[in-house]
Structure 1
Amino acid sequence: MQLGGFRYQNNRERIKLRLVPVTLLRAGMKLGKKIFNENGMVLLSEGVELTPRLIERLGQVGIGYVYIEDAVTEDIVIPEMIHEQTRAAALQEIKKQFQGLSSYSVDHRNKYFGKSFYKVMESILDDIGSRQDAIIMLMDIGAADQDLYHHSLNVCLYTLVLGIANGYDHNQLMELGIGSLLHDIGKMKISPQVLYKPGKLTDEEYEHMKTHTEIGYKLLKDEPGIPLLSAHCALQHHERIDGSGYPNGWKKDQIHEYAKWIGLVDSYDAMTASRIYKQALLPYEAMEVLYAGAGTLYEQRMLEAFRDCVAIYPLGLSVVLNTGEEGVVVRIHPKIPQRPVIRIVRDRDGQELKAPYDVDLSVSLSVMITNTLGATIVPFGEVHVD
């Protein structure tokens, strides 16, 4: 089977799934996918029947959405952007090298880690590099309090999909991929009290946090096996095209294109990641926030390219259509991911259908998603931020 550029041969992935906010979970529901802690260890396995205590605990560890078993959506396949083995090996190497850096000063560290990351990038590109119609699927649903290692890998995967869509060659993808994987490496030299502070940073703490860009550049610029442009990704990924970013306040063409892509994706992943102190945004909500910065923080053309590569409505998400009907996202088109296939499960009067049917929004152009479990959709181009 092929979906969105991803092929599946494991029948165990054919599970009955619906994506449900933790706030709407009810005792007796069964998990459709595993729940992981911040270290990647399984907290709850699929098939576990939820109890009031378990539901409460999910909220306490910062998980906003989970997949539950659902007979109506038995044919939904949840794709992974890279193979599980590739992902595990990449996270292991990221964690090993990043933690090693925390034990040494910038000038007295173990060098030559560039070779390790080059191998990681080759494995990742082997998985997704040839898939011209790959799309960005939301990662880490069901993961508690995403850490720096998962964030680094997510940003790398998302950015590579954009690089492929932008027509980058293998060498450019390697530069971009390594730059995105290591964009936050300087945070390993930031005080843990600041890095993991759950609330708003003080002005002094924020100034300390901002130094991670220059630290990352210094760590990478002379490292064998790390392209110099990748080092500049660490330096520039918080620069913004209106000059409001840091560390140098560069504008427009002063910022390398790689860093612009990474800055965009970095913001998206931060908004869609679970944190104990905040609930993750859904992809369409994060895209609304990003579009509020069109032409000031981010280039309009890049936002449009990003939108066309992102599955803004995750598989299994319950939605309301402008027809008044309710349904579930069951399939995503790789070329137009913002117009998915919806399985209608309730009519406009709220009555559950005995025979649900699918509506392809890429064909039924007058049908639109207006709500997702109580959250109003704001169309692109009509986003207003106070």
Structure 2
Amino acid sequence: MRKVHIFEAKSGDVLAVDIYGPNGAVLLAKGVKLTDSYIRGLRENGIRHIYIHDVFTFDIEEKPMISPVVRQQAVKKVYETMTELIEEQKAVQRVSSLDLGQEYQKIFKEILDYLLSRENLLINLSDLVISKGYFFHHSVNVATIAGVIGLAKGYSSQQLLDLGVGALLFDIGMTQIPSALWAKKGPLSPEERRIVSHHTEFGFELLKKQSNVSPSSAYCALQHHERFDGSGYPHQAAGKYIHEFARIIAIADVFDALTSPRDHRKQHSPHEAAEYLCAAGNTLFDYELIKTFLKYVAIYPLGTNIVLNTGYRGVVSNIFPEYPLRPVVRILQNPNGEMLKSPFEIDLRKEVNVTIVEAF
């Protein structure tokens, strides 16, 4: 598979990665041949890049971070919970009758089981979601990334479940914000940002009323926008006064937001997002947790387009957890931009003078 911009997609291209809708359902399954109407629909729904198979990259395929079935079930549950609370005028009273703790522990356990079944824990979220589904899929992505960090830190089973529930529900307070604001295309005004900032406290109040949601999980909702230097909100907590779970979720939240297509913001590549987090370590984020995170993120995911300092162009065909900056690149074009009749591969672990100068 290889990544292409949606405006470069052509009728007849074969989709290599599933595309999901807001409630977790697959809208277009991998293996589907794209048509002009499919491509037009993807553009209209905010998809900026897709992954396709072609004769040179058909054998490059990434096992998803979580299985399509687990993702669909998790997103469907988040979607149902959030939409029910959005539509319920007295959500604080309504949430008291729900058993979110038990339900979301079960969901997160399935995510954990799938993570543990993988050969490695590399974070490579290549799933594609239409823009209307971002809010719901984002919670599942954040929980998946948080789960990897929790496993890397050696958390106990109960700690992992508490972290996972907090990660899946960290944005539940957004249900109490006017939907016109969190679905707004374009930047928020200062007053709108002030209103939206209250979602952290709303979320904390909602989760506190759940008998099976631990205080640690509830603090994920309250503190995920706090920053390590005290510049965040709602209480300008700093350093270790921010719960460790919330510090983990802050990293996962920002990484997934930066690498996801948004109507009002540039979509960044994983290496750009990782560089931002690294630069902000110990200022906005806990640098010890950043270092743990960086050990498990796929800086150059499979299918990423690469330009080398030699001028050759290709796609990432293999990655190694112990050498995140030195993948194998399948060369498809010469320095003049001409397609090669016989592509070849370069293992950057063995070519110390060859470097990546651009990735997209």
Structure-1-length-normalised TM-score: 0.85
In the alignment, which of 23, 45, 53 is matched to residue 69 of structure 1?
Answer: 53
- Is 1:84 aligned to 2:71, yes or no? no
Would the alpha carbon gap of residues 301 and 353 (structure 1) be closer, same or farther in structure 2, given more than 3 Å must change?
A: same
Q: Within 5 A, what are the aligned runs for 1:7-26?
A: 17-26=1-10
Aligned to 2:147: 160
Deviation at 1:298, TM superposition (A): 1.3
In the alignment, which of 47, 50, 53 is matched to residue 32 of structure 2?
Answer: 47
Aligned to 1:96: 80
Distance 1:182 1:274 in 2: 21
Aligned to 1:192: 179
Q: Secondary structure at the match of 1:328?
A: strand
Would the alpha carbon gap of residues 42 and 277 (structure 1) be closer, same or farther in structure 2, given more than 3 Å must change?
A: farther
Deviation at 1:108, TM superposition (A): 4.7
Sequence identity percentage: 38
Q: Within 5 A, what are the aligned runs for 1:124-143?
A: 124-129=111-116, 131=118, 133-141=120-128, 143=130
Distance 1:130 1:33 in 2: 20
Structure 1, gaps ≥5 residues long: 1-16, 374-386
Per-residue CA deviation, residues 135-181 of structure 1 (Å, 9 max, x unaligned), is 11124335444332211111000111111122222222112111111
Would the alpha carbon gap of residues 93 and 40 (structure 1) be closer, same or farther in structure 2, given more than 3 Å must change?
A: closer
Aligned to 2:330: 343
Deviation at 1:58, TM superposition (A): 2.9
Amino acid at match of 1:269: D
Aligned to 1:235: 222
Q: Secondary structure at the match of 1:339?
A: coil
Distance 1:301 1:79 in 2: 28
Would the alpha carbon gap of residues 90 and 224 (structure 1) be closer, same or farther in structure 2, given more than 3 Å must change?
A: same
Query: Runs (4+) of structure 1 moved beyond 6 Å?
Result: none
8 Å Cα contact 1:27-1:50 kept in structure 2: yes
Q: Secondary structure at the match of 1:327?
A: strand
Would the alpha carbon gap of residues 336 and 163 (structure 1) be closer, same or farther in structure 2, given more than 3 Å must change?
A: farther
Would the alpha carbon gap of residues 18 and 234 (structure 1) be closer, same or farther in structure 2, given more than 3 Å must change?
A: same
Distance 1:224 1:294 in 2: 35
Amino acid at match of 1:157: T
8 Å Cα contact 2:24-2:137 kept in structure 1: no
Per-residue CA deviation, residues 98-144 of structure 1 (Å, 9 max, x unaligned), is 23333133145323221111211222222114658311112433544
Structure-2-length-normalised TM-score: 0.90
In the alignment, which of 213, 216, 224 is matched to residue 203 of structure 2?
Answer: 216
Aligned to 1:257: 244
In the alignment, which of 176, 184, 194 is matched to residue 163 of structure 2?
Answer: 176
8 Å Cα contact 1:308-1:336 kept in structure 2: no
- Is 1:295 aligned to 2:282, yes or no? yes
Q: Secondary structure at the match of 1:218?
A: helix
Amino acid at match of 2:291: E
Distance 2:231 2:139 in 1: 23
Moved more, 188-197 or 25-34: 25-34
Deviation at 1:61, TM superposition (A): 1.9
Would the alpha carbon gap of residues 106 and 222 (structure 1) be closer, same or farther in structure 2, given more than 3 Å must change?
A: closer
Deviation at 1:304, TM superposition (A): 2.5
Per-residue CA deviation, residues 166-214 of structure 1 (Å, 9 max, x unaligned), is 2222222112111111111111111111121112222222111111111
Aligned to 1:105: 91
- Is 1:361 aligned to 2:345, yes or no? no
Distance 2:119 2:148 in 1: 8
- Is 1:281 aligned to 2:268, yes or no? yes
Question: Aligned-residue CA RMSD in angstroms?
Answer: 2.3
Amino acid at match of 1:253: K
Deviation at 1:28, TM superposition (A): 4.9
Distance 1:61 1:184 in 2: 23
8 Å Cα contact 2:24-2:72 kept in structure 1: no
Amino acid at match of 1:370: V
Structure 2, gaps ≥5 residues long: none
Aligned to 1:333: 320
- Is 1:226 aligned to 2:210, yes or no? no
8 Å Cα contact 2:64-2:125 kept in structure 1: no
